């Protein structure tokens, strides 16, 4: 199968866990720009996506041969099932019927969308699973940082269900891991499967680092996610409480407690729900992009975006674990080292040697490289 050429693939079904537009958070960024790149390469995409909170998006019609929307089955019934909620709520008889209308390969985006993976109706179809995370590990870590008792109980329960459900991956012809850490896990856990490393698709085609210097540090992320909000709290309370260099925090739906904390510091600014254009400008104009995470899961797409568009990039070890991106960043974990690094970066300009080094590292993370690797699996 691996020896066939990608141009033999004329069309593909993609089952997405969410409506992949607007592409404003990690998982859907990979899905949307994958669809866009496949379209660019002349491959017809039949998109099947689960809808919950996002409306139908005409933008997707530009890149897809067909777009099918399915209501996600939220509610108590899905939560009480032995099947993980993120899977049970994404079941659809209409999806199965639509998939049986053609014989194209099926790309399941995330364990979320894998309910039909073991269905005998698809035993002779080429089935590929894109793993965005080691999902049970991700949910276990969400439980650790979650302060709400009910949510924490849900995350723990979901983690157990996901671990039991995960062996459904044995029904896939190929799995696509997003980081080296995940690749090693899936190779070790499912040695009978073939798993390939396919880094995320994204919006960047070339490095666009702005010359000169900026006058603020930027942290950004989906602030409705506890992991990202906690990172913002950490920065304010441990780094910028006595460091007067301006800090900008930007992202989706910040909690009220974060807004209240930011209001106590005149040198810290919170930008809620910035547009894509606004976010791009913030990254581009910052002197330093500071990315911090307590969870070493998957590959953080915002890190790739910063490396393509920002000046200096300061991260902790968890942010680059399982990737080859540490060489393109400044990696610090101790608070005092972080403070010293921030201060020193404000006296520097990113030089051409640094940019060229970054360009070389990022070749392995380009959409074209990911496309070629993915086509080896689905051709």
Residue 355 lies in a domain: no
Please give the model's pTM, rounded to 2 decimal places: 0.86
What integer pLDDT is reported at residue 4 of this predicted model? 42
Residue 22 lies in a domain: yes
Tell me which residue range forms the domain holding 110: 6-203+366-378
Residues 221 and 191 both lie in one domain? no
Query: Where does the pLDDT of residue 322 fall: very low under 50, low under 70, confident under 90, or very high at 90 and above?
Result: confident
CA distance 231 to 75: 30
Query: pLDDT tens-digit profile of 341-356?
Result: 999 999 899 999 999 9
CA distance 369 to 88: 34
Residue 210 lies in a domain: no
Residues 372 and 317 both lie in one domain? no
Residue 208 lies in a domain: no
Q: Which of 40, 86, 46, 85 lies closest to 69, judged by CA?
A: 46
Residues 264 and 338 both lie in one domain? yes
Residues 64 and 87 both lie in one domain? yes
Residues 51 and 147 both lie in one domain? yes
Residues 96 and 177 both lie in one domain? yes
φ/ψ bin of 322: left (φ > 0), alpha (ψ from -120 to 50), beta (otherwise): left
CA distance 311 to 330: 11
State the greatest distance between any 2 C-alpha atoms of the chain, in Å, as a whole number: 63
Residues 333 and 372 both lie in one domain? no
Residues 27 and 54 both lie in one domain? yes
Residues 93 and 149 both lie in one domain? yes
CA distance 134 to 61: 31
Residues 161 and 243 both lie in one domain? no
Number of folded domains in the chain?
2
Note if the bond before 42 is cis, omega within 30 degrees. no
Residues 225 and 327 both lie in one domain? yes
| Least trusted range by pLDDT, from 35-39, 67-71, 225-229 | 225-229
- Do residues 166 and 122 lie in contact, with contact meaning Cβ atoms separated by under 8 Å? no
- Average pLDDT of the chain, as a whole number: 92
Report the side by side order of strands in the sheet with 194-197: 66-71, 44-51, 11-16, 106-109, 127-130, 174-177, 194-197
């Amino acid at each position: 199968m691996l020896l066939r050429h990608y141009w033999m693939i004329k069309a593909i079904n993609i089952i997405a866990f969410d409506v992949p537009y607007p592409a404003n958070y990690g998982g859907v960024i990979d899905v949307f720009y994958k669809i866009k790149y496949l379209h660019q390469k002349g491959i017809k995409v039949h998109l099947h996506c689960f809808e919950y909170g996002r409306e139908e998006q005409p933008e997707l019609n530009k890149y897809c041969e067909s777009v099918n929307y399915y209501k996600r089955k939220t509610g108590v019934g899905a939560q009480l099932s032995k099947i993980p909620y993120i899977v049970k709520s994404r079941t659809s008889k209409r999806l199965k019927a639509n998939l049986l209308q053609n014989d194209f390969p099926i790309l399941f985006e995330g364990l979320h969308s894998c309910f039909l993976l073991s269905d005998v109706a698809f035993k002779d179809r080429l089935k590929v699973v894109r793993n965005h995370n080691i999902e049970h590990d991700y949910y276990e870590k969400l439980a650790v940082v979650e302060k709400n008792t009910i949510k924490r109980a849900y995350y723990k329960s979901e983690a157990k269900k996901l671990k039991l459900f995960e062996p459904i991956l044995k029904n896939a012809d190929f799995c696509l891991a997003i980081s080296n850490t995940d690749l090693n896990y899936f190779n070790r856990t499912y040695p009978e499967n073939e798993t390939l490393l396919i880094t995320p698709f994204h919006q960047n085609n070339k490095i666009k680092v702005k010359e000169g210097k900026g006058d603020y540090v930027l942290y950004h992320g989906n602030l409705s996610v506890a992991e990202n909000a906690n990172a913002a709290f950490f920065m304010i309370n441990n780094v910028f409480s006595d460091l007067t260099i301006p800090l900008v925090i930007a992202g989706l739906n910040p909690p009220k407690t974060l807004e209240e904390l930011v209001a106590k510091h005149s040198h810290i600014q919170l930008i809620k729900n910035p547009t894509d254009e606004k976010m791009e400008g913030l990254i581009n104009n910052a002197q330093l992009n500071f990315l911090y995470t307590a969870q070493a899961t998957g590959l953080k797409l915002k890190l790739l975006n910063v490396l393509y568009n920002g000046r200096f990039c300061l991260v902790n070890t968890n942010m680059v674990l399982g990737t080859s991106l540490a060489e393109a960043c400044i990696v610090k974990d101790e608070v005092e080292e972080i403070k010293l690094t921030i201060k020193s970066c404000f006296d520097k300009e990113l030089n051409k040697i640094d940019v060229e080094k970054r360009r070389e590292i990022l070749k392995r993370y380009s959409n074209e490289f990911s496309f070629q690797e993915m086509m080896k699996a689905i051709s």
